[in-house]
Amino acid sequence: MEIFNSLLPELIRIVVCAVCGAVIVFGNALVMGYAERKLAGRIMLRPGPMEVGFHGLYQLVVDGLKLMGKQLVIPVNADKPLYMLAPLLAFAPVFVPLLVLPFSEKIQGFDLDIGMLVILAFASINVLAILIGGWSSNNKYSLFGAIRSVAQNVAYEIPMLISLLAIVFMTNTFSLKEIAAAQSPVWFVVIQPLAFLIYIVAMVAETNRAPFDLPEAESELTAGFHTEYSGMSFSLFVLGEYANMFIVCSVATVFFLGGSSGIPLPFFEYTGIVWFLMKVYLLMFFLVWIRWTYPRTRFDQLMNFCWKYLIPFSLVNLLITVVMVKLV
């Protein structure tokens, strides 16, 4: 009974957090799906979706229904269990990082001591999903996408991690809440501009977005790793991609843009989420903006950029940070 009493609030908390996580994932996909299409349209001198609802507001709902109704085509020679597993693997792990994100001072699922590690660990499962999806499709284009994705994500996780480590050295904690709180006078983007830049570049590469969208490079690999996927299994990849965008942008917000800090609102412990989301969506807007502006890089140039510039610079940045922390 004792145990039950102490467990019950935890269980309720877990359920509530899971539900909130699902709401965020789907809500974010709806918002971003619509916003991306509208913004892309705006950039391309066209209106974007206009037909369903006011200015195409329900377009995403209708698209979702359509995708759910579509047949799940499984290629004859595909590795069936793995083929079905891949989209789930791309989609399921995105809930966990949401649990540790400090949306405001009080709105946070769990404040883990190793919050940052949890996020990075679960975010990198996405690579595995892409690899499995590309491999099991038994399609050469998919395989290429998968190979590219693994090489790219493994490479870009290093500068991402190192640039975040510089912050960790300054704050002496992995807990996201404390890192956010440590930026009360000055945001870390001011103190660590180089780390911020490196993180932003690595973030675009990690989410496989243009100009680093090589795993799905449309004009080269038709659709890359998800060439063979259809219906809901395809849309799970897309949902996963948007959720990943949300997570990496949240991490950038927490580490560099002061988390939920901002002009105080009433009940700021809770309403800080407004500032938090505003910063996150500003970064996401930035992602969309560059996607629809730049051409795609070439694979060897992308890898060279990472190994020859980003990683050395992030190491130098880390070194300088460590020395400064020691001195100050």
Partner 1 sequence: MSMDIEVLEDSSHHRYVLNMGPQHPSTHGVLRVLLELEGEYAMHLLPVLGYGHRCHEKIAEFKPAKSFMPNTARMDYLGALIYNHGFAQLLEKAVGIEVPERAEYIRVITSELNRIQSHLLWYGAYLLDLGAFTPIMYAFDDREHILDILEDVTGSRLTYCYFRVGGVSKDIDEKFVTKTRAFIDRLRSRYSLYETLVNGNVILENRLNDVGDLNPHTCNRYGITGPLLRGTGVAYDIRRAEPYSIYSQFDFEIPTATKGDCMASFMVRFRELEQSLRIIEQALDGLPEGPVMAAKVPKKLNIPAGDYNSSVESPRGELSFYLVSDGTDVPYRLKVRTPSYSNLSVVPEMCQGMLISDVVSAMGALDLVIPEIDR
**Sole binder of partner 1 in the list 140, 307, 312, 324 (CB under 8 A):** 140
Query: 300-305: which pairs have CB atoms within 8 A and are 24 or more residues apart?
Result: 302/152, 302/205, 302/212, 302/214, 303/151, 303/152, 303/155
Question: Per rule CB under 8 A, is residue 213 in the interface with partner 1?
Answer: yes
* Distance between CA atoms of residues 52 and 65, nearest Å: 13
Q: Which stretch binds partner 1 (CB under 8 A): 38-46, 126-134, 176-184, 199-207?
A: 38-46
Q: Which of 17, 35, 40, 197 binds partner 1 (CB under 8 A)?
A: 40
Burial level of 317, CB count in 10 A (0-12/13-18/19+)? Answer: buried
On whether the CB atoms of residues 69 and 145 are closer than 8 A, the answer is: no
CB of 222 to partner 1, least distance (A): 6
Question: CA 27, CA 21: separation in Å to the nearest integer?
Answer: 10
Q: Which is nearer to partner 1, 139 or 192 (CB)?
A: 139
Q: Does 172 bind partner 1 (CB under 8 A)?
A: no
Which stretch in 40-48, 73-81, 93-101, 188-196 sits in contact with partner 1 by CB under 8 A? 40-48
Q: Does 300 bind partner 1 (CB under 8 A)?
A: yes
- Specify the stretch interacting with partner 1 by CB under 8 A; choose among 24-32, 158-166, 193-201, 208-216: 208-216
* Burial environment of residue 3 by CB neighbours within 10 A (0 to 12, 13 to 18, 19 or more): exposed
Q: How far is the CB of 213 from partner 1 (least distance, A)?
A: 7
Q: Does 138 participate in binding partner 1 (rule CB under 8 A)? A: no
Residue 3 or 45: the one with the smaller Cβ distance to partner 1 is: 45
Instruction: Tell whether residue 105 is a contact of partner 1 (CB under 8 A).
Output: no
User: Which of 138, 222, 231, 315 contacts partner 1 by CB under 8 A?
Assistant: 222
Conformational region of residue 208, where left means phi above 0, alpha means psi within -120 to 50, and beta covers everything else: left
